[in-house]
Amino acid sequence: MCFDACSNVQIPDVLVGCTRYFVDRQGEYEKLYAFVTGQPLIEKPTLGKIVIFPPHLLPSFRVDDNTVSSMCKVIWPYMEDNRRIFKDFGPTSGADDSGSSAKAVRFDLSLWYGKRDTIVCNNNTIANHIRSNIDLIPEAHLHTFEKWLSHIDAFALHVPDDTIDYREHQFPKDIISIVREQFS
């Protein structure tokens, strides 16, 4: 919370990226009050009817040279984007950069809630590539890729409904080295 006389110099570095409310300006107090009480300021319109495209009109996610290496090269940037978002905004990851083994917990998750849709979108692209090229994945890694797909699907269900528990479908961390090995 700030007043007009508040300057960026007075804001601690740790809070610079956070939302500021200038409560003595028109409408700012209401924004702060709505945030604190969990009230939306804008009512979302209802979605229209979903158009179902025939399969031949959908984009192909099949890799050009039919190799798992190519698929992994394509999905790696999406994985990295998700990693960065989770590290920078997630509830626990990256919240404590002091080198301590203890996980710090973020209490202001407003940015995280806004970024989860990007992860879901990235995950959809990753899942489409995996499902379109599942026959290219070596048998030794197939189970890990299937666990990853299960995680992607469960996380997509969890984002719009926090009551959905997806702990049984955690991200398989060994997929990182598997994907990296495929194109190194």
How far does the chain reach from its first CA to its final CA, in angstroms? 49
Q: Are residues 106 and 25 in the same domain?
A: no
Q: How confident is the model at residue 1, as a pLDDT?
A: 52
- With a pLDDT cut of 90, the percent of the chain lying above it is 43
Clarify whether residues 102 and 167 are in a common domain: yes
Other beta carbons less than 10 A from residue 21's beta carbon = 18
The pair of three-digit structure tokens given for residue 47, joined into one six-digit string? 């979605």
pLDDT at residue 96 tops 60: no
Domain assignment present for residue 50? The answer is no
74/143 same-domain check: yes
- Examine the domain organization and report whether 97 and 142 are in the same domain: yes
Count the domains in the chain.
2
Domain membership of residue 95 (yes or no) is yes
Q: Which two tokens stand for residue 11?
A: 């804001």
Beta-bridge partners for 22: 2
In a domain, 120, yes or no: yes
Tally Cβ neighbours within 10 Å of residue 128.
Answer: 16
pLDDT classification of 7: cutoffs 50, 70, 90? low
pLDDT digits (tens, 9 = 90+) for 18-32: 777 777 888 888 888
Domain identity same for 60 and 40? no
- Could you tell me if residue 76 is inside a domain? yes
- Tell me what the mean pLDDT of segment 78-94 comes to: 86
Q: Which amino acid is at 67?
A: T
Q: What is the rounded CA–CA span in Å between residue 120 and residue 151?
A: 11
Question: Is residue 36 located within the same domain as residue 61?
Answer: no
39 and 59 belong to one structural domain: no
Task: Assess whether 77 and 6 both reside in one domain.
Answer: no
Instruction: For residues 81 and 122, give the distance between their C-alpha atoms in angstroms, rounded to a whole number.
Output: 8
Domain span at 94: 55-183
pLDDT digits (tens, 9 = 90+) for 135-182: 999 999 999 999 999 999 999 999 998 888 888 999 999 999 999 998
pTM of the model: 0.64
